[in-house]
Structure 1
Amino acid sequence: MRWAQEMQAASYRALLVWSRGRTVAAVSGLRWMAPSVNQQHSLQYSVSSQRCSGCKWRYEADRMVKVMARKVEIGFYNTVSGFTLNAARPVTPDLFEEALIHLQKKVEFLQVCLPQRYGRMWIADMDTMPKIDFQVVKDGSLWDLVKNRTKATYNVADGPLWAARLVVCPPEEPCKLPQVKDAFPHQYHLVFNWNHATTDGVGMVSMQQIFFTLLDDMLDVAQVDDKLIGKMRDRNEDRAIEAKIKETLEKDPQRLKVLLEEVSRYKTRVPLITEIFGEPQEPYPDTISLPKQVLDHKLLQVFIAKCKANKVTFNSGFGGLMNAALVELAREAGLERDSYTISSYHSVDTRRYKSDVSSVMWGYHACNMTHTMETPCNIRKSFWKYVVDYDTKFRNHLKTNGPFQDRMLDHMVLAAMPDRKLKATHDFFYVNLYSPRTKSFGSGKHIQQTDYCSCSPLTKTDYGMTNTIVSFRDQVMIQPHISSGFITAANAAKFIDKVIGMFNDISKTSD
């Protein structure tokens, strides 16, 4: 009750700040998200010195870049991904390093740092090139290596804002694809970590594809050039959209008040998944990776065909499937209702809102979006009708610049609560990195990808479970991660098992 009262009061404080004419500072300045004590320390560290006097200044960092940089410094959004690579012949660490140097010269976000210029943070090229953070690690599993790198720190002012670690596996190291190891016996774990302030998931996946091709070409003794791929780009168009939203809301303070109250109420909700399983009493929460679950290839093709027949995206089809699975778990737990409110979080690629996107666009171009659905108790009987509604609401929100408005309202409410307690309000974060139109990579002439995993710390988020759909070679799989303070591994496994079971049933059912 006290939390609800605080959030309601916060919405009025946020509206008061807006109405008193301090909105410009709230929208475009650092005060839009009030920093905690740790964040204040981090911010002082970031602006403590003038650096990079001989480098190329690209553009001033905007509010989102600064926010992401602060979050990374306090251990939030320090994302890591890793691969197991198998080669036909030995690959020396020196060759890996040479490939990384070529990669840095081709990909601009690997060339930049975040120095201060007259007291303001900028995106700038490092003053020395190449400059890479690459080390060979003695041993460790792929997951252990990935998990350890979530604690990595960065020299923000000088760079680099990314790093790579390599493990040369012993001959007896098991391989997830033993049939591949027969022909490609030399095995390596390679892990990348990066500062989220200068790139996003889309950029990271594109960079990894470029690196894999580079390394395979080098092993083929092919000519490798350092020609740039893509271009670093600022968020000017995003800010123009946000300014237009601000202008519209300023003209309708009553609507703004209603929207802020909705956000405040939402931030008091208990996720349905928490109602079902309860909240673990874990004094020291940690991020845990659950086993990846591979979707049956034939059933996947059937499911994709059904999505097309109903004129919905695969993203909406699988999102609706996860909601349906959660409803069935609720009913099995004795939570009988006519419908259930389910809230999922989605990472939106804001490149869709930009003009002249003719090549790879580097930089941070993401916006998290809340998608809340009332899901009927008899969801199986009306599954595809529900998915159509899910898809319609999702698309409409995207078309009307909803993610930007959500972010603005969310920051307004949170800025009015500098001493707020962290609380999970979403049932899960759904990240779809798979598209039926996207060609998978990892099967090279001289090198093969035999395993993959990623991790982003979840213990400081307002969601405690991430379900990522990702393609790996010719497989499509779910990769779940949880915060042990949000849900236990056993209960999260029950949810994933229910998702897989429903996927199989719905794909096999005649509509």
Structure 2
Amino acid sequence: MVAPAGCRAVPRWVWTWAWVPSTASGLRRTAAASVGRQHSRRYSVPTSHRHSLQHERAAVEVQDRQLCKEDSGQSGNRRYNRHHRHHPEHGAPRDSRPVPGCPDAHLKVEALRIRFRERDGELWVADMDTPKIDFQVVEGGNVEDVAKITSHSAYSKVEGPLWRARLVVCPPDEPCMLPQVKEAFPYQYHLVIDMHHAVFDALCNMVVSELFFQTLDSMLDGAQLDDRQIGEFRDRSEVRAAEARIRESLQKDPRRLKALLEERYKIMTRVPLITEAFGERKESPPDTNTLRPEILDHKLLQVFNAKCKAHKVTFNSGFLGVMNVALMELVREAGVVRDSYVISTRHPVSTRRYMRGVTSMVWGFHSLPMSMDTVMPWDARNNFWKHVVDIDTNFRERIRKMGPVEQLVLDTMLQPMIKDRGNKTIYDMALTNTYAPTIEAIGNGKHVQISQFHGYSSVNGLEYKMLCGIFGFKNWVQSQLAYSSEYITKEIAAKLFERMITVFNDTAKSLD
């Protein structure tokens, strides 16, 4: 069950909780030793708690390119979090720094207990022989260094686990983004969560983090925890069946197939607007950098959400409109002057919507990329919401017609024609959004509070080299921009990100 190549679109994060775990396996102990002193121990699950897969399940769609990335240490989903702990009611001294035990969240999630197994030349998923946790506590280390080492450490796919966590103990004088939280929750930690992107997509990442947060808060409250399973692990057989149906349908209509392939070929060979405006960079080796996250103004966010609702569009479409306008204005000021601009963006879409009988969380990598080409006039700000409605209509229609699956089929057909293009950048940028106004954000626990959240995703070698992420925590919504140094400079990326925030604020303030 491995992510299609080029779908490594979800990130690393930074939070702030209270009291966190100390159960762990000794995996990667030496790699992180240069960062700080660590505590780790192996954790074995009692037999009564094991929920074995009844059968090993094939992951026939595993793609070698993705596994090569994972083997080289470029693991997928990562979250870096900061934590504060409430002063214990049982009277531990305020200056003490207790290090808690790891919540048994993996007992409730099948995907956290699996590994890969090769059989007859194919990769399958199966239970770990001895379920364990790769968790380490790091003292005296810098969270960025810990995160870098963690993200460049390969997994033991045949043994598992396919996820890891690192708790970085903060010194007493470490600043907190939310000082008012630290007053009541004095113990601060960074939590780094890294998950193999072949098994966990963005939704899995968010749900695991939420489960970890809730379990930790319940443990500190003395609640009785159970090991009832959350969700189910599914392979991609239904999506593969849909691929076969779409391929067969296209082959029966040669004229339509030819037109679609020509359209996709134009997209796959286009030059991004950033490259047009600022030239092609040749930095080697390339690196992914992340700008400092920006918390969107809460009052303006409420106004923006109300405007989205009034125009019957999603927040996702509204923010995509913001991104498009900001990019268009930036390249226009740089000398790319046109009456209108074609902006090509990439979006991870969950294929769970195409599954039958879904009644709870479906674990596994079930994300497919979908591209969107949007034509916007140079003065789109003057009629912003009209263009957002067009974006929203197009987006919904593509998803309804299984657009991500159809694009996968077309891109597979085109592969022989474009195999020599290497890591050519195609799309202007990508958007990954895990925020929705109707979903309650996590982070306000009784004993645990999140005070910061930071995401990371490597965009090196992908068809897009710039990624905007939207994440919700507590009562805030945070945006951040990741970019490859071989695509855009830090100065230009910062200017674009600043323009995006300006367009968002101006749109919320404007009288429509």
Q: Same fold by TM-score, threshold 0.5 exceeded?
A: yes
Q: Residue 225 of structure 1 aligns to a residue in which SS?
A: coil
The answer as to whether partners of 2:72 and 2:152 remain within 8 angstroms in 1 is: no
Offset, 1:273? 2.1
Partner of 1:134: 135
Partner of 2:42: none
Alpha-carbon distance between aligned partners in 2 of 1:188 and 1:442, rounded to the nearest angstrom: 14
Correspondence 1:346-425 to 2 at 5 A: 346-425=347-426
Alpha-carbon distance between aligned partners in 2 of 1:431 and 1:240, rounded to the nearest angstrom: 26
Partner of 1:229: 230
Partner of 2:497: 496
Partner of 1:452: 453
Partner of 2:507: 506
Partner of 1:111: 113
- Aligned AA for 2:109? V
Partner of 2:24: none
Question: Given the alignment, which residue of 54, 57, 67 partners 2:55?
Answer: 57
Partner of 1:462: 463
Partner of 1:16: none
Partner of 2:71: 73
The answer as to whether partners of 1:426 and 1:462 remain within 8 angstroms in 2 is: yes
- Aligned AA for 1:503? F
The answer as to whether partners of 2:326 and 2:499 remain within 8 angstroms in 1 is: yes
Normalising by structure 2, we get a TM-score of: 0.85
Q: Residue 438 of structure 1 aligns to a residue in which SS?
A: coil
Partner of 2:122: 120
Correspondence 1:284-295 to 2 at 5 A: 284-295=285-296
Partner of 1:219: 220
Offset, 1:483? 0.7
| Structure 1 residue 143 corresponds to structure 2 residue 144 | yes
Offset, 1:148? 2.9
Cα distance 1:326–1:394, how it changes in 2: closer, same or farther (>3 A)? same
The answer as to whether partners of 1:212 and 1:442 remain within 8 angstroms in 2 is: yes
The answer as to whether partners of 1:75 and 1:457 remain within 8 angstroms in 2 is: no
**Count of residue pairs brought into register by the alignment:** 458
- Aligned AA for 1:453? H
Structure 1: stretches of 5+ with no match in the other structure = 1-29, 34-53
Offset, 1:413? 2.0
Offset, 1:247? 0.8
Alpha-carbon distance between aligned partners in 2 of 1:140 and 1:328, rounded to the nearest angstrom: 42
Alpha-carbon distance between aligned partners in 2 of 1:383 and 1:184, rounded to the nearest angstrom: 43
The answer as to whether partners of 2:347 and 2:430 remain within 8 angstroms in 1 is: yes
Offset, 1:254? 3.3
Q: Residue 210 of structure 1 aligns to a residue in which SS?
A: helix
Offset, 1:77? 5.4
Cα distance 1:376–1:77, how it changes in 2: closer, same or farther (>3 A)? farther
Stretch of structure 1 that moved more, 300-309 or 62-71: 62-71
Question: Given the alignment, which residue of 74, 86, 89 partners 1:88?
Answer: 86
The answer as to whether partners of 2:84 and 2:449 remain within 8 angstroms in 1 is: yes
- Aligned AA for 1:170? P
Partner of 1:39: none
Offset, 1:505? 1.2
Alpha-carbon distance between aligned partners in 2 of 1:225 and 1:348, rounded to the nearest angstrom: 32
Alpha-carbon distance between aligned partners in 1 of 2:65 and 2:228, rounded to the nearest angstrom: 32
Q: Residue 454 of structure 1 aligns to a residue in which SS?
A: strand
The answer as to whether partners of 2:83 and 2:449 remain within 8 angstroms in 1 is: yes
Q: Residue 101 of structure 2 aligns to a residue in which SS?
A: helix
Offset, 1:222? 1.6
Structure 2: stretches of 5+ with no match in the other structure = 6-51, 88-95
Alpha-carbon distance between aligned partners in 2 of 1:248 and 1:399, rounded to the nearest angstrom: 17
Stretch of structure 1 that moved more, 263-272 or 432-441: 263-272
Cα distance 1:344–1:418, how it changes in 2: closer, same or farther (>3 A)? closer
The answer as to whether partners of 2:345 and 2:373 remain within 8 angstroms in 1 is: yes
Offset, 1:197? 1.0
Offset, 1:69? 3.2
Residues 450-509 of structure 1, C-alpha deviations (whole Å, 9 max, x = no match): 111121211111111110011121111111111111111110111111111111111111
The answer as to whether partners of 2:75 and 2:152 remain within 8 angstroms in 1 is: no
The answer as to whether partners of 1:78 and 1:195 remain within 8 angstroms in 2 is: yes
Partner of 1:179: 180
Alpha-carbon distance between aligned partners in 2 of 1:75 and 1:255, rounded to the nearest angstrom: 42
Alpha-carbon distance between aligned partners in 1 of 2:142 and 2:313, rounded to the nearest angstrom: 39
The answer as to whether partners of 1:424 and 1:461 remain within 8 angstroms in 2 is: yes
- Aligned AA for 1:125? D
Partner of 1:167: 168
Root-mean-square deviation over aligned CA pairs: 2.2
Cα distance 1:417–1:390, how it changes in 2: closer, same or farther (>3 A)? closer
Alpha-carbon distance between aligned partners in 2 of 1:322 and 1:136, rounded to the nearest angstrom: 39
Cα distance 1:70–1:412, how it changes in 2: closer, same or farther (>3 A)? farther
Q: Residue 56 of structure 2 aligns to a residue in which SS?
A: strand
Alpha-carbon distance between aligned partners in 2 of 1:281 and 1:160, rounded to the nearest angstrom: 37
The answer as to whether partners of 1:343 and 1:370 remain within 8 angstroms in 2 is: yes
Q: Residue 270 of structure 1 aligns to a residue in which SS?
A: coil
Cα distance 1:75–1:260, how it changes in 2: closer, same or farther (>3 A)? farther
The answer as to whether partners of 1:147 and 1:455 remain within 8 angstroms in 2 is: no
Offset, 1:414? 2.6
Offset, 1:78? 2.2
Partner of 1:192: 193
Alpha-carbon distance between aligned partners in 1 of 2:372 and 2:277, rounded to the nearest angstrom: 20
Offset, 1:56? 5.2
Partner of 2:335: 334
| Structure 1 residue 242 corresponds to structure 2 residue 243 | yes
Partner of 2:49: none
Offset, 1:300? 1.0
The answer as to whether partners of 2:62 and 2:123 remain within 8 angstroms in 1 is: no
The answer as to whether partners of 2:76 and 2:196 remain within 8 angstroms in 1 is: yes
The answer as to whether partners of 1:79 and 1:150 remain within 8 angstroms in 2 is: no
Normalising by structure 1, we get a TM-score of: 0.85
- Aligned AA for 2:195? W
Alpha-carbon distance between aligned partners in 1 of 2:116 and 2:206, rounded to the nearest angstrom: 22
Cα distance 1:125–1:328, how it changes in 2: closer, same or farther (>3 A)? same
Partner of 2:159: 158
| Structure 1 residue 437 corresponds to structure 2 residue 438 | yes
Alpha-carbon distance between aligned partners in 2 of 1:503 and 1:56, rounded to the nearest angstrom: 50
Stretch of structure 1 that moved more, 214-223 or 414-423: 414-423
The answer as to whether partners of 1:57 and 1:123 remain within 8 angstroms in 2 is: no
The answer as to whether partners of 1:79 and 1:457 remain within 8 angstroms in 2 is: no
Offset, 1:276? 2.4
- Aligned AA for 2:101? F
Alpha-carbon distance between aligned partners in 2 of 1:315 and 1:141, rounded to the nearest angstrom: 34
Cα distance 1:222–1:394, how it changes in 2: closer, same or farther (>3 A)? same
Offset, 1:263? 2.1
- Aligned AA for 2:349? V
